[in-house]
Chain A
Amino acid sequence: MRKLVTAGLIGMCTLAAQGEYVQINMTVFGMDCPPCAYAIRSSMRGIRGVEAVNVDLNTGLVSVKLTTGNNVEMRQFNDAVEKNGFVHQSSDVWVRGTVSGSAQAPFLDVTGTRDRYALAPLASGMDLSRLIGKAVLVEGIVPQSARGKVADVLRYKTVAEAR
């Protein structure tokens, strides 16, 4: 199922080379009741570029689907959680951007935003040297960050060139 989702998202991102978040699945701690979930959903929906938000109270998972061409930054999602008094954990992300840096120290620039991540493999590493300077779709995990901060590392599962 996950492979299908990834394949679909890769397909979507071949339309353009602009960087943007495609989907974010964020785990949130502390939501015990529907008003908690409703507050999170309202806050997330208020972010320009968010297409749909689903909150599962029993797993704490907040799934956010974003519109094509958005320029939302990760900080905005963290803020939405923090302002409601909850704690954000790691997030599964599907994000388009451009690989920069070097083969030894690759970065992902989410063009159109100020977000920049050091790319680190979640399990076995990939040779990213051939992708430097190219537009890619990355599926990975943005680790938990302290309140008011955004992690500067993206632990990738897959990196695919966006044509």
Chain B
Amino acid sequence: MKFLSFWICAIALTAHAADHGPLFSYATPVNAEGELSFDTGVFGRYGSAGTQFSTGSQVGYGVKPHVTVSAFLPAMFGSGKLPESRIISGSEWTAGTSWRFLDSSKSVGRRLESTASLAVVVPGPQSATGVLGELHRAPGVEGTLSVGVASRSHYLWLGGGYTRFAEVSNDRRPDTISWSATYGYRPSKLRRGLNEWDYRGFAELTGEHSGNVVKSGAIVPESSSTTLWLGPSILAIFKEFAIEGGVQGPLFRDVSESVYGRERIRFAINLSYLKYSSHRDSH
């Protein structure tokens, strides 16, 4: 029962790890019209100054064939002193819209597409930890853009995002620029039918630069950070259900260890349920 409660209360990871895309990275898939998607999972960041777990659930609904609205409700555990990240959400609630403004399907099983999203990020009931936990919190706005190719064999997505928080009581969370590149592959033996398990693997490269933290009107010294992460993830889908897991290690870190410690590993597990529209109509 505790296990069940954990997953029900959990909310996933990031706004990007929806149903059948990569786990950490930005990607282009959106829901079909009338399709509901539910994601829930756990996301971890382990470092020398503690460990932080985020759990959360995301609900998405396709209002048009290329427009999806979604809401992400996280919860956070642990007391790690870690830098701001939008790739791995913390305790902020997020609601937004994704619009797949380019969708070109020129052959069987292949799509070229681009998706933009805009979301409002609102402080949740939980405070962050470390330097960020000492700030008065205010809402922010997050915009992302991703482009990519999907096919039966290969996937390639590139994406980026920018988040800016408002200032309140002379405090402000840092602006964050995030980017990602994902390559995915489905071996020929696994290009099977819709009634069988579908597997694909991804190599996910993600990076973030967060600016300085502003506290009481002054910049907190050495509070800016830049990191680059790389790691594999695997996605398995059976009909309406999907499970995805992955891990990332640092390629590059320009982070003050005295402020944030040394983040060593990131990992995530995500579960998805997709409720397809049955498209009931006659004439």
Contact = CB atoms under 8 A, between A and B. Distances in A.
Interface of A: 27, 29-35, 37-39, 41-48, 55-60, 71, 73, 76, 79-80, 82-87, 114
Contacts of A86: 105
B279 interface: yes
Contacts of A73: 283
Interface residues of B, number: 43
B236 to A, nearest CB: 10
Given A43-B277, A85-B32, A33 B282 contact: no
A48 to B, nearest CB: 5
A82 B198 CA distance: 24
B5 interface: no
The majority secondary structure among interface residues of chain B is loop
The majority secondary structure among interface residues of chain A is mixed
Nearest to B112: A30
Contacts of A84: 32-33, 35, 65
B103 A85 contact: yes
B239 A38 contact: yes
B30 interface: yes
Nearest to A80: B279
Interface of B: 19-20, 30, 32-35, 65-66, 100, 103, 105-111, 150-152, 155, 191-194, 196, 198, 200, 237-240, 242, 274, 276-283
A32 B103 CA distance: 13
Contacts of A39: 32, 35, 274, 276-277
Nearest to A38: B194
What 10 pairs across the A-B complex have the smallest Cβ distances? A30-B105, A46-B278, A60-B108, A43-B279, A29-B105, A42-B276, A37-B194, A83-B33, A84-B32, A46-B279
B282 A48 contact: yes
Contacts of B65: 82-85
B237 A46 contact: no
Contact of B30 (A34, A42, A56, A85): A85
Nearest to B20: A35
Contact of B66 (A48, A59, A85): A85
A40 to B, nearest CB: 9
B110 A32 contact: yes
Nearest to B32: A84
Which of B107, B108, B238, B281 gathers most chain A CB within 10 Å? B108
14 contacts: A29-B109, A33-B150, A34-B193, A38-B240, A38-B276, A39-B32, A39-B35, A39-B276, A46-B278, A47-B281, A47-B282, A58-B109, A59-B108, A84-B65
A72 to B, nearest CB: 8
Nearest to A73: B283
Given A71-B283, A84-B32, 10 more contacts: A30-B105, A34-B237, A35-B242, A39-B276, A46-B279, A48-B282, A59-B108, A60-B108, A85-B30, A85-B103
Contacts of A44: 279
Contacts of A33: 20, 150, 152, 198, 200, 237
Contact of A41 (B20, B109, B194): B194
